[in-house]
Amino acid sequence: MPRTTDDVRREIEREREQLASAVDELREAADVTSKLRTKLPALAAGGAATGFVLAGGLGAAMRLLARRGREGETKAQAGRFRLVDRG
């Protein structure tokens, strides 16, 4: 049975609708900007933390905190250990 012009037109219209929906789905999937914008605070915090650790900030901060308890006048020392007068 041969196809009529109305059949061809309906088929073309159906294909257009399918193509339009596929293009819309691709646009949503490829919208990286909005996805990054929603996750920006977490990404910024992670980047800052990574930079801090890679720059040696964790070790420097711990040395600073550990040093604060040892400030004072050294009265005696045996190897690594010291007797400190903090008064």
Angle at 36 between CA 34 and CA 41, to 5 degrees: 120
Reply yes or no on whether the pLDDT at 69 is more than 70.
Answer: no
Please give the pLDDT value at position 68: 62
Ramachandran bin of 35, using left for φ above 0, alpha for ψ from -120 to 50, beta for the remaining angles? alpha
Please give the pLDDT value at position 71: 67
Please give the pLDDT value at position 9: 92
Q: How many CA atoms lie within 13 A of 17 on its CB side?
A: 6
Mean pLDDT (the chain) is 83
CA atoms of 6 and 80, how far apart (whole Å): 95
Please give the pLDDT value at position 23: 92
**Which range has the top average pLDDT, 47-51, 52-56, 77-81?**
47-51
